[in-house]
Homo-oligomer: A and B are copies of this chain.
Amino acid sequence: MLILVTYDVSVITSDGRRRLRNIAKTCLDYGIRVQNSVFECEVDPAQFVVLKSTLLDIYNSEEDSLRFYMLGKHGKQKVDHFGAKPVDDPLRDPLII
């Protein structure tokens, strides 16, 4: 099933930047980055449990926001993309939001 992971992570502090890197790295283990803070992950239910649990361990519940969208088995058919491809490293250019 396709899971969309979106997040807002405050990168004002070095701790925030570390969280952002770890969240992105974890998502990349399961899927692809389609925008700076948006990942599409093709996972089975067991993998999703691990992915979700890992992300919830990393993020800061008071400062960050984390959302999961269950797009289902035919999730790729539900997406329309327009424009530029995302940068590889969101910390390279923090002025993209």
Contacts and interface: CB of A to CB of B under 8 A. Distances in A.
Give the contact-size bracket for chain A: 35 or more
Given A6-B6, A6-B35, A84 B65 contact: yes
A70 interface: yes
B37 A35 contact: yes
B69 A4 contact: yes
A45 interface: no
Interface in A72-97: 72, 78-86, 90, 93-97
A95 B94 contact: yes
Contacts of A8: 35-36, 84, 86, 96-97
A43 interface: no
B38 A61 contact: no
A82 B56 contact: yes
Interface of A: 4, 6-12, 20, 34-38, 52, 56, 59-72, 78-86, 90, 93-97
